[in-house]
Structure 1
Amino acid sequence: MELPSAAWVPCNIQMDNWTMEPAVWVSGFPAVEYQYAATEIFGNCLQISDPSPSIGRLVEYAQATQHDLIKVAEAQEFEVDMNNMEAKIRDNTICAFQGTAQEFKDDMDTMRMKIHRYPASLRGFDEWYSVPRMVAMGPYHHGCVLQDHLKQVEKVKYVAAYHCVMESGHSLQEVYDAVVSAAHVARRLYDNDLMAGISDGDFLPMMFYDACFLVQYMLWCTPAATEMEASLRSFFDFNRKVLRHDLMLLENQIPWLVVETVMRFRPVELVDFVADWRHYLKDRKVLEEKLIVLDNSYEPPHLLGLLRFYMVGRSNTRVHTRDKFNSISVSVSAIELAEIGITLTAKETRELIHMGISKKGILSAELSLAPLSLDDERASFLINMAALELCTTSNFGEAGDEDSAVCSYLLLLSMLVHREEDVQELRTKHLLQGGAGLINKDSLGFFTSLQSLPLRGLCYGRVMVEIERYKVKRRIRIMVHAFIYRNKRTILTAISVIGVLVSILGTLMSLKSKSKI
């Protein structure tokens, strides 16, 4: 067998007395095991006939080669393992991405039903609009340790739950088990990160007590309040304003499916309840008002969503014309509207969605909106309804008018107000009603803070298009009206002077006629 680079010349020995045979082959190279027929024959007589390696070095070389080859094989095996590990990591990463993507999709699919946190675009507002003053509903404001000012009402929740179960005619276990079944579904509607730190042992009783309390409150808002236990009714009577504030906060909601579960045992006339709230934003209550008709196709996410649905109303506009303008204003002041002949008018409606421009005469038109009686609680209610729209509507341009009506309503009011005189003008036009709410200075602060709202809202956009269309189609009339509006004092003075001159001239003519007689 010939080995490369190995020339062996034995000294005074017979080469037939030893044999060399390959034992194993690794990657094409022999790992050689040498067998000697008689070790003593070799002795120390193996000598190098030239500078080539000796047999000992050949063995060392073969062993080193085998060791290196083993290292190569191990390295290759390690590389394979590393590749497998990297593949597993990639697979695990893809699985993690897929899980996150699926979770995100599920959140988006249930976006309209979730219990949302206050949107970042509105966090510049005071805590009055987002933090409960008396009662915490759901997990967002319970926290690890309930704040002191919220602890007292927790005892009232036990009282409300007791009366709710007793008045239902069902056992506590039956009502509680039904709520627990619904609460397991409702749990997924809250913020995942927050819920990770809340056990079912805390969450399930919370849903039971909160839902019973809310149902008892809803009963208090209806004629059934006369049948309510006196002490509980007195609590609701004494705290009506702060409860209206707290129970309408976006972060202070509980899923409607849990509330509905309790109402199966202790029914509430929703027609009476919604009717009681319909006049909330106005200062006048119609005594002989027609009953509302509930929309059975609507599935509310929570109490705030239910009331917003009926206070917004339904739009009659289904087709939106797309006018072509080189440019369009995104806002306009009350003074600009007055100059071009558009006056402000309070619309005879309770539904916020009804807003728009209508012709009034040859030189003028009207911008009509639903009237508003503004105080702290109503301001908070409006902001939280707008917050709900921002959280549940991904694309305002493709959504219906109803999905952004509150944002549109608030944006239109905010663009009309820049000074206290503008607020007074809204009162003069009866868009702001009542005298027991916010004074002009505070109303101005509220309306100017609304300018931080995103410029969203299909109704708002349509009104701005209608204003632009009015400007384009009535250019000459607007010029005439603007001239009269800007110079009305001079014109009135001139008319007065002319009137005086005519009167004097008439008197002179009368005297002249008498002198001829």
Structure 2
Amino acid sequence: MSREKIALSSLKAELEIMDHSEFPTPQSCCIYRLPPQLREVNEAAYTPMMVSIGPFHHGNKRLNSMEEVKLWFLYKFLKRIQDRSFDDYVCVLRNQEIKIRRCYSEIIPMDSDEFIRMILTDACFIIEYFLLFLDEDRWHPKLWSMQDIDRDLILLENQLPFFVLKDIFDLTFLNGYNEPGLPIEYVTYNYFYSAFMFHIVPNRRLRENLTFPYFVQHHLPRLPDGTLQVQHLCDMLRICYVRLDQLPREDNDNEMKPIYSACKLHDAGIKFEVNEDEVNLLKLQYSKGVLKIPRISIQDDTETLLRNVVAFEQRQFPLSRSMTDYMVLWEHFIRTEKDVEILEEKGVIKNLIGENDAVASITKRLGRHIIHGNFNNDYISLFKELNEFCDSPCHRYKAIFKQQYWSTPWRIASFLGGILLLFLTLIQTISSVIALFQN
């Protein structure tokens, strides 16, 4: 058989396989494989370190050590109920198999039994892991690093559809978990509060006020019929960051002009203050030369959290990229370690990494290969006001003066030396005039 006929025969066979495959659709797809150009900026920020969830990283030998742990958690979870059998869970997932497969951006080359085994194991592991956070003693002998697991559970490529967790949870706990019958929404919120809320609201006093009823009212999206609108755990992290009153956003043609860095804004006379009373991390307030910013905590995994939330926004919410806008804002604010130093001194940044240049490097990388557009109107207005303040003649000359004379020690010494020389010259001139009159 000729090479051309073999190629055509192979293509025909592949097309026949697709006849029996379930393609993702724009309406159903919510879990995406990231493009290479985005991964290459920071591969580690998108790759699980401890545990694989879902099909994209399933079978990775580097993560095999957690497979036994997941089986143990599955066993423990199934032991919780007496009136349900293993087959009941398999039946629920098999009825949802097509819907689950369509949530992924790629066709999953796994047969039905293998696929159901993976989904059931991963889902029960996640639920049982969440229930640990309702116990006073959440330590578990089979878990080496819960912090690494927390990080892996929010990665965009490492997700299960949230409706899978809800279906299995509701099948197990018909009236909710324990007393007073906690729903899966509360169990998930409690986990996120414990694992991630110090990232989102560093102020402990404000964080204590962020109760579940507050979260439901101001953050948790629902359809008019009350149906929960959470796609997966990466989406849940985004929901924790973004309030409902920031969604949705109307399309606009306005462009957000580049803003000056924190250092240049400071030189021009802008005063930075930390907003200790604002629980909404994304809300900045500007008035009469004072910019109030809610405190942000920068830690080792901050880049990972922001990158995955923004990557999800890029694909899922073309008209409502609130976290993308927020990331772009910090990309403008911080360009050098001097910018970090100013904002840290004012209390706006809580730098838990230690080195200012490391924080500056993170903000520089965040905007690479990210689509910017349809910016938040509040940020557009904010940037315009700040730019107008800095571009006014009085403040522009003030900034130039500070940059030229106060930016480095030798310039400071030169400026002070010039003042001293002028002062001595003035004294000499006055002495000469007095001597002249005395003569």
- Indicate which of 328, 345, 349 corresponds to 1:432: 349
Change over 3 Å in CA distance of 1:320–1:384 after alignment to 2:
closer
Deviation at 1:319, TM superposition (A): 8.7
- 2:299 aligned residue: 375
Deviation at 1:472, TM superposition (A): 4.3
SS at structure 2 position matched to 1:379: helix
Is structure 2 residue 290 aligned with structure 1 residue 365?
A: yes
Deviation at 1:440, TM superposition (A): 2.1
Using structure 2 for the length normalisation, give the TM-score.
0.73
SS at structure 2 position matched to 1:139: coil
Assess if the C-alpha contact under 8 Å between 1:282 and 1:433 holds in 2.
Answer: no
- 1:186 aligned residue: 100
Q: How far apart are the structure 1 equivalents of 2:267 and 2:360?
A: 22
Q: Which amino acid aligns with 2:115?
A: F
Assess if the C-alpha contact under 8 Å between 1:182 and 1:257 holds in 2.
Answer: no
Deviation at 1:280, TM superposition (A): 3.0
- Indicate which of 271, 277, 281 corresponds to 1:352: 281
Assess if the C-alpha contact under 8 Å between 2:267 and 2:399 holds in 1.
Answer: yes
Q: Which amino acid aligns with 1:208?
A: L
- 1:202 aligned residue: 114
SS at structure 2 position matched to 1:110: coil
Assess if the C-alpha contact under 8 Å between 2:90 and 2:120 holds in 1.
Answer: yes
Change over 3 Å in CA distance of 1:438–1:126 after alignment to 2:
farther
Q: How far apart are the structure 1 equivalents of 2:199 and 2:372?
A: 25
- 1:37 aligned residue: none
- 1:76 aligned residue: none
SS at structure 2 position matched to 1:352: coil
Change over 3 Å in CA distance of 1:460–1:426 after alignment to 2:
farther
Q: How far apart are the structure 2 equivalents of 1:383 and 1:191?
A: 18
Q: Which amino acid aligns with 1:109?
A: Q
Deviation track 1:189-234 (CA, whole Å, cap 9, x = no partner) reads 11343x1x2111210110000000011121123x3354x7x7xx33
Deviation at 1:434, TM superposition (A): 4.5
- 2:78 aligned residue: 165
- Indicate which of 308, 316, 333 corresponds to 1:416: 333
Q: RMSD value over aligned CA atoms?
A: 3.8
Change over 3 Å in CA distance of 1:428–1:259 after alignment to 2:
same
SS at structure 1 position matched to 2:56: coil
Is structure 2 residue 214 aligned with structure 1 residue 289?
A: no
- 1:513 aligned residue: none
- Indicate which of 109, 132, 137 corresponds to 1:220: 132
SS at structure 2 position matched to 1:176: helix
Deviation track 1:112-158 (CA, whole Å, cap 9, x = no partner) reads xx21111455223222111111111000001xxx2332111111111
SS at structure 2 position matched to 1:108: coil
Q: How far apart are the structure 1 equivalents of 2:117 and 2:358?
A: 41
Q: How far apart are the structure 1 equivalents of 2:252 and 2:120?
A: 50
The 5-angstrom pairing of residues 386-405 of structure 1 reads 386-394=310-318, 399=319, 403-405=320-322
Q: How far apart are the structure 2 equivalents of 1:379 and 1:202?
A: 34
Q: Which runs of 5+ in 1 are unaligned?
A: 1-95, 505-517
- Indicate which of 182, 185, 193 corresponds to 1:275: 193
Over the matched positions of the two proteins, sequence identity in percent amounts to: 20
Q: Which runs of 5+ in 2 are unaligned?
A: 1-14, 178-183, 223-227, 407-411, 428-439
Change over 3 Å in CA distance of 1:121–1:371 after alignment to 2:
farther
Aligned length: 373
Q: Which amino acid aligns with 2:209?
A: E
The 5-angstrom pairing of residues 244-255 of structure 1 reads 244-255=150-161
SS at structure 2 position matched to 1:252: coil
SS at structure 2 position matched to 1:234: coil
- Indicate which of 230, 234, 245 corresponds to 2:141: 234
Change over 3 Å in CA distance of 1:116–1:352 after alignment to 2:
farther
Q: How far apart are the structure 2 equivalents of 1:442 and 1:476?
A: 34
Change over 3 Å in CA distance of 1:149–1:284 after alignment to 2:
farther
Q: How far apart are the structure 2 equivalents of 1:393 and 1:263?
A: 28
Assess if the C-alpha contact under 8 Å between 1:256 and 1:300 holds in 2.
Answer: yes
- 1:156 aligned residue: 69
Change over 3 Å in CA distance of 1:126–1:467 after alignment to 2:
closer
Deviation at 1:317, TM superposition (A): 9.0
